[in-house]
Amino acid sequence: MLPLHDILVVSCEQAVAAPFATRQLAELGARVIKIERPGEGDFARGYDTTVHGQSSHFVWLNRSKESMALDLKTDAATVHRLLERADVFVQNFAPGAAERLGLGADALRARYPRLVTCSISGYGPDGPYRDAKAYDLLIQSEAGLVSVTGSAEEPAKAGIPAADIGAGMYAFSGILAALYDRERTGEGTHLEISLFDSLVEWMGFPLQYTAGGGEPPRRTGTSHAAIAPYGTFRAGDGVEVVLGIQNEREWTAFCAGVLARPELAADPRFDTGARRVEHRPALHAEIDAVLAGLTGAELVDRLAAARIAHGRRREVAEVLEHPQLAARDRWATVDTPGGPVRTLLPPITLPGRPPRLGPVPAVGEHTDAIRAWLDEADHR
């Protein structure tokens, strides 16, 4: 029996942040009823057609849920029949839309005191940005993530929807905390999660660095603004290996065991972390000169022997075949309306209790069954 087996979640969700949060709940055993627009459903269903004709985003975010097609403007009664039995209500409507539909937090909390409500928005329920569009790239830009990502010449957005994922995870953890609190108090509560707040929290190191030093951390590609050597280096056969040397002990071991140049550790340009950052181009030149004479396999062997933190810079297709995922049996198969797909197991593992890995639903696939369940429950 999974921890959330008796929890009912009703979610008026679309795009990424809210579906990501509720998928985590579903995989821990919660019953998640996803309310979708009749016909088109969640607009994320149309992002692309790469997975058996379906959206890669939607397949990623919506396994293990039930889909109910419902016009919220004309059938509010059905929503409230669900909410009478629900433990959690999640929504990521545009600002003010929940209130206009009679689904605002204040109204729901008054009517259903044990209900945990969670609103996910771009910038929060007030402030000058309240009504601003809040696509992931826009939030990454406003939160400063783009300014610290990329190369020295060109900023870049993160290659994944970082703001959406951050907000989804804070919603997930907040809901768990609220459910625990309800066990002690008997009362639900309301959670306000914004993409902007979530991503600004993740920007803690750059914000502290800038506030303390007066200058923002420099964009350094895969390198680090405050640590060197740190980032991607290339062996003579073209294999790219990522290094992370974070203290003087490791630096000394790296010079002796990997570069075979122990005297480099005491070079006055490189004998402290700050000096290595200051003289990064010269440092990289010294390292590159040695690595050019090594194969990738030789370099990895030396790094392992010297106990230096390292990793391969892998392309996405290589991650699909990553030996660690294979060795730990981290892949599973789930059904989708377009056919079965390989998918990763959730990161949260419970010994002896496998996660729920139910199919990805078609739009409104469970509408009739949910209505029948409600009718039956009403007549008990």
Residues 6 or more apart in contact with residue 326 via CB below 8 angstroms: none
Judge residue 101's burial from the number of C-beta atoms within 10 Å of its C-beta, 0-12 exposed, 13-18 middle, 19 or more buried. Answer: middle
Q: Locate tokens 């290094």: which residue?
A: 243
- DSSP H helices, the chain, are 17-27, 56-61, 76-83, 97-100, 105-111, 136-142, 162-185, 195-202, 204-213, 248-253, 273-278, 280-291, 296-305, 316-320, 323-327, 367-378
The terminus-to-terminus CA distance of the chain in angstroms comes to 25
Phi, psi of 291 (to 5 degrees): -65, -25
Phi, psi of 36 (to 5 degrees): -125, 155
DSSP-assigned beta bridge partners for residue 193: 120
Burial class (CB in 10 A: 0-12, 13-18, 19+), 249: exposed
DSSP string over 60-115: HH-TT-EEEE--TTT-HHHHHHHHTT-SEEEE-PSTTHHHHTT--HHHHHHH-TT-
Contact between 359 and 58 under an 8 Å Cβ cutoff? The reply is: no
Distance CA 73, CA 28 (A): 31
Strands across the sheet with 230-234, in order?
230-234, 240-244, 310-312
- Neighbouring CB atoms inside 10 A of 161's CB total 22
Identify whether the C-beta of residue 217 lies closer than 8 Å to the C-beta of residue 225. Answer: yes
Catalytic machinery residues: 224
